[in-house]
Chains A and B, each alone.
Chain A
């Protein structure tokens, strides 16, 4: 029952973001499990969307659909965003804790579910001529999500508008740096492993 009440609160956040995000932080209405459930639900929505959106707007090759990809495209960016945002705001006088950032980001993704699911059902009965409505709704969902993320970040860290925009852009840069470092790390490890293996081979083949 408590879970349902918490879940219902996400709607309040989506429709009254200023009030909603304030209460998330200062009235302790935010729940980590709700945020993570939303993350899971978004992933599920995207998987369903790829499979079941109407043929007229669905350009996915059925043989190339892979649910694991959604992990790559949703969960990893989510985690990267949270970590990058936290790392950055700690240095930039942000007031948010890591937990609060995860909660705010999670709650901000609610519109994706709210719009994508009905849109997916709708797409099955529309023709090419009406397909533009589908794409408009997709864009609306996306902009709504960005808007909520913006308000969320601003409230959690108690930033001004400009500083929030600046921080969000910088967060994207930091994500880029993190991906770069990650790839570099893997590449170095790979080189290292192959180097050790070559030496091992050299020693075993030589007597």
Chain B
């Protein structure tokens, strides 16, 4: 008896020792389930290295505000305080450093620049905020041109131009977000001539405000805050030449927009209850930067909780990385994100530091599976989704992926199981229609062989019963009862 107890105690002790997590991260991985609940998920990206201004071989970045990663792995960091651009190569060695540029034989400098963009040819565009201009520099940092304030009748007389963020599309059109401009993104053509605004945010009305406004006098109305659309706070260009924008808007369900060339929002949201708005909590996420990755995936940076949310082209959350804190991999005030291949860079303004994250096995699997899935290669994707499920049995997207692949292969019954686990009612319904038809084709004969005799027997039995009853009545009548 005593021995049994000891064995039992030993077994319990062993059971209580859990394997330590393979790589401890200072944040937790999660996704949202169909029901809008946060569900634990493996960590998709882990911090691999970080660098500050001094470590890069220069001054500290006192107010670094923007970050850009080019297709060949160069990293551009813009420091607003000193107005300098630091360029790092893939090994994070200092490639170059631009503090000033020569213009018409004179030295010129940036004043509090807030945004930068690098074209595939290596031309650097800087939103030189306090100087009210956008500067284009060549790959070696030489001055090419200056784009000043837009000139147009639609702008008011006292308009001052404070460009904050800039991007340039493949055709050379320049898109600028400026402070205090509510009309949308300022668009210049490739020659730097102002052509118009695009993608205005709608004015959000509050019924209560509207009520007060209707009953107040003109004097009162003049003193009230005006209804103005919320301005965009960041933008990014994706592979197809569409523009992603973010808005620090905590009320609407569309803080993220994907604008087509005519300025219409074409962002895909497969489930309107699970729109890409970051955390589904009372205190909403505040998006301050966005970055497009491969195959329709985009990442948004939330400054409220310091998290990077990664969505696929359908607007489904793939994984969440980062958080606020003091350890490597967490931030104090993250301001910009960039990505290069399977790496993710986050710039922290207060710490003056860039942190690099590398995809874990889970992150790589999800990225690859999602890329195949987005390309319509459901069968190849299903194999990877099965690997994902081995790592995270709660990952709904994986079940949907497998379900869709099974549906295409004609495995309707198992497709039903997977689509139900993935909570995809639309595809479940499609699979059910096919399964139903298949089932009836196979089993129609069987059911009919059962049903017909039952009906026949019932019918004969009823007729006999009636005849019997009638006879009994006739008999009773003839007996005089």
Q: A125-B436, A127-B433 are in contact. Are A55 and B428 (CB under 8 A)?
A: yes
Q: Does A169 have its Cβ within 8 Å of any Cβ on chain B?
A: no
Q: A128 near B425 (CB under 8 angstroms)?
A: yes
Q: A56 near B425 (CB under 8 angstroms)?
A: yes
Q: A56 near B35 (CB under 8 angstroms)?
A: no
Q: Does A72 have its Cβ within 8 Å of any Cβ on chain B?
A: no
- A128–B436 Cα distance when bound, in Å, is 13
Who on chain B is nearest to A57 by CB?
Answer: B425
Q: B35 near A127 (CB under 8 angstroms)?
A: no
Q: Does A129 have its Cβ within 8 Å of any Cβ on chain B?
A: yes
- A56–B426 Cα distance when bound, in Å, is 8
Who on chain B is nearest to A125 by CB?
Answer: B436
Q: Given the complex, which residues of A lie within 8 Å of B420, measured CB to CB? A: 55
Q: Does B90 have its Cβ within 8 Å of any Cβ on chain A?
A: no
Map CB proximity to B onto A120-131 as digits: 1 under 8 Å, 0 otherwise: 000001011100
Query: Dominant SS at the B interface?
Result: helix
Looking at A125, A127, A128, A129, the one whose CB has the most chain B CB atoms below 10 A away is A127
- A129–B436 Cα distance when bound, in Å, is 14
Residue total for B at the interface (Cβ-Cβ under 8 A): 10
Q: A56 near B429 (CB under 8 angstroms)?
A: yes
Q: A55-B420, A56-B432 are in contact. Are A128 and B35 (CB under 8 A)?
A: no
Q: B35 near A61 (CB under 8 angstroms)?
A: yes
Q: A61-B35, A127-B430 are in contact. Are A55 and B425 (CB under 8 A)?
A: yes
Q: Given the complex, which residues of A lie within 8 Å of B436, measured CB to CB? A: 125, 127
Near B by CB (< 8 A), chain A positions 82-140 give 125, 127-129
Who on chain B is nearest to A61 by CB?
Answer: B35
- A129–B430 Cα distance when bound, in Å, is 9
Whole-angstrom distance between the Cβ of A131 and the nearest chain B Cβ: 8
Map CB proximity to B onto A127-159 as digits: 1 under 8 Å, 0 otherwise: 111000000000000000000000000000000
Looking at A55, A56, A61, A129, the one whose CB has the most chain B CB atoms below 10 A away is A55
Q: Given the complex, which residues of A lie within 8 Å of B430, measured CB to CB? A: 127
Who on chain B is nearest to A62 by CB?
Answer: B35
Q: Given the complex, which residues of B lie within 8 Å of A61, measured CB to CB? A: 35
Whole-angstrom distance between the Cβ of A126 and the nearest chain B Cβ: 8
- A29–B425 Cα distance when bound, in Å, is 47
- A56–B420 Cα distance when bound, in Å, is 9
Map CB proximity to A onto B424-452 as digits: 1 under 8 Å, 0 otherwise: 01101110110010000000000000000
Whole-angstrom distance between the Cβ of A138 and the nearest chain B Cβ: 18
- A102–B428 Cα distance when bound, in Å, is 43
Whole-angstrom distance between the Cβ of A135 and the nearest chain B Cβ: 15
Whole-angstrom distance between the Cβ of A55 and the nearest chain B Cβ: 6
Whole-angstrom distance between the Cβ of A59 and the nearest chain B Cβ: 9
Whole-angstrom distance between the Cβ of A154 and the nearest chain B Cβ: 38
Whole-angstrom distance between the Cβ of A113 and the nearest chain B Cβ: 24
Whole-angstrom distance between the Cβ of A63 and the nearest chain B Cβ: 8
Whole-angstrom distance between the Cβ of B393 and the nearest chain A Cβ: 16
Whole-angstrom distance between the Cβ of A45 and the nearest chain B Cβ: 23
Q: Given the complex, which residues of A lie within 8 Å of B426, measured CB to CB? A: 128
Who on chain A is nearest to B426 by CB?
Answer: A128
Near B by CB (< 8 A), chain A positions 152-175 give none
Map CB proximity to A onto B17-35 as digits: 1 under 8 Å, 0 otherwise: 0000000000000000001
Which A residues form the contact surface with B (CB < 8 A)? Answer: 55-56, 61, 125, 127-129
List 9 contacting pairs A-B, 8 Å CB cutoff, sorted by A. Answer: A55-B420, A61-B35, A125-B436, A127-B429, A127-B432, A127-B436, A128-B425, A128-B426, A128-B429
Q: Which 8 pairs, one residue from A and one from B, show the smallest C-beta to C-beta distance?
A: A128-B429, A127-B429, A127-B433, A61-B35, A56-B429, A127-B432, A55-B420, A56-B425
Instruction: A125-B432, A127-B429, A127-B432 given; name 15 further pairs at CB < 8 Å.
Output: A55-B425, A55-B428, A56-B425, A56-B428, A56-B432, A61-B35, A125-B436, A127-B430, A127-B433, A127-B436, A128-B425, A128-B426, A128-B429, A129-B429, A129-B433
